Structure 1
């Protein structure tokens, strides 16, 4: 796999959120700390570590979730769906900023030749259709979401995001269990809780719209 692995570019608004998050993380990590073993004094995780692999892969995974949420926000006027999309945009863009910020502080590249999910002990071979990791939507599915309106857009978004969250929660649980840094363990554990909660919420929202995941 090439070092340029990435999903489609985020919208300008998403980029602004990401840059703000990166700045906050950088300030937090370089601030002096009196506690031993702080993020600024602990050895950086190895390039092949769970911590670095997770930060790289989940940043890409999150990027697509943010992109899909921006799309559906503009394809429906439904308050509940727009609120969910807004929450995902803010949460995942900020988490992505934190992970990219840690990679920067650790002196690790933000992309790699390694296959996705190698840090989990298994690899996923991208199919060349935009789905770079399990749970990610294909280019065709993203095009369908952009073309949909109203209830159709809501249902498609909720289905795609449910699949996205299920795979994301599995990845996050693996990192929460095996990462060497408390920063990644804590962030990943929070992702598991948040995404599982949203999976339940989306199941109810799909049921209200006469559909299932």
Structure 2
């Protein structure tokens, strides 16, 4: 029987994990839906309240705002998938807590961005390559990762910091300390890529609600990156390359 919660099914299909008992599916699915709905509600509220007043209409979302919401939601969802796996399979309380915090925060932010896209009457995913909004927006030339999002550490079709299918397969094959270290390495690199996107949007967006979210992302992910760097050092490991 198909689950009422496709996000949970997709995650477990990716990692080849059998479905849990029906009660756990219902509880986790309901929690996931609740977080997404909360984020969507916050997103629509902030778009309306921060972007306008009684006399001034809210600025219209442009290429940067729409592209950021579409692509960062995809970027975040991979982080949620990795974090949920680590939370459920690590035996290290510190890793479990970090993974829970990352998944909860980023899932709420995904809901917020999807709420904006619905309010703006835009599709949830961009048509074409990722990150064209960082190169094609008028007057916003960007010398870093371009539309194709390719580079030494960024395979074709992926945004900066995202894990490949092979890396995800390796993550789910590990256990114990090896799992903890590899999760921290992948997530730290993932945060580095997300920070680039958030900083570009912070610098180029004129929408107050969007700038508020990017500011939150920059603060939280920078703090988490410092924590993960320290956790890796404590475990005798180093970050993965990022360029």
If the length of structure 2 is used for normalisation, what is the TM-score? Answer: 0.74
Q: CA deviation at 1:190?
A: 1.1
Label 1:176 to 1:210 Cα distance change in 2 as closer, same or farther (>3 A).
Answer: same
- Distance in 2, Cα, partners of 1:142 & 1:148: 10
Alpha carbon RMSD of aligned pairs, Å?
2.8
Is 2:122 the counterpart of 1:108? Answer: yes
- Distance in 1, Cα, partners of 2:90 & 2:188: 18
Is 2:161 the counterpart of 1:146? Answer: no
The answer to whether the Cα contact below 8 Å between 2:39 and 2:110 also exists between their aligned partners in 1 is no
Query: Residue 37 of structure 1 aligns with which residue?
Result: 52
The answer to whether the Cα contact below 8 Å between 2:162 and 2:189 also exists between their aligned partners in 1 is yes
Query: Residue 5 of structure 2 aligns with which residue?
Result: none
1:162 is paired with a residue whose SS is helix
Larger RCO, structures 1/2 (Cα 8 Å, 6+ apart): 1
* Superposition map of 1:46-125 within 5 A: 46=62, 49-121=63-135, 122-125=146-149
Query: Residue 4 of structure 1 aligns with which residue?
Result: none
2:161 is paired with a residue whose SS is coil
Max Rg structure:
2
Query: Residue 5 of structure 1 aligns with which residue?
Result: none
The answer to whether the Cα contact below 8 Å between 1:26 and 1:101 also exists between their aligned partners in 2 is yes
Label 1:188 to 1:17 Cα distance change in 2 as closer, same or farther (>3 A).
Answer: farther
The answer to whether the Cα contact below 8 Å between 1:50 and 1:180 also exists between their aligned partners in 2 is no
How many pairs are equivalent?
201
The answer to whether the Cα contact below 8 Å between 1:130 and 1:137 also exists between their aligned partners in 2 is no
Is 2:207 the counterpart of 1:191? Answer: no
The answer to whether the Cα contact below 8 Å between 1:21 and 1:98 also exists between their aligned partners in 2 is no
2:91 is paired with a residue whose SS is coil
Label 1:198 to 1:138 Cα distance change in 2 as closer, same or farther (>3 A).
Answer: same
Label 1:194 to 1:26 Cα distance change in 2 as closer, same or farther (>3 A).
Answer: closer
Q: Which consecutive unaligned segments of at least 5 residues does structure 2 have?
A: 1-8, 13-24, 136-145
- Distance in 2, Cα, partners of 1:160 & 1:192: 18
The answer to whether the Cα contact below 8 Å between 1:131 and 1:137 also exists between their aligned partners in 2 is no
Q: Which consecutive unaligned segments of at least 5 residues does structure 1 have?
A: 1-7
The answer to whether the Cα contact below 8 Å between 2:148 and 2:156 also exists between their aligned partners in 1 is no
Label 1:206 to 1:108 Cα distance change in 2 as closer, same or farther (>3 A).
Answer: same
Query: Residue 188 of structure 2 aligns with which residue?
Result: 162
Q: CA deviation at 1:192?
A: 0.8
If the length of structure 1 is used for normalisation, what is the TM-score? Answer: 0.83
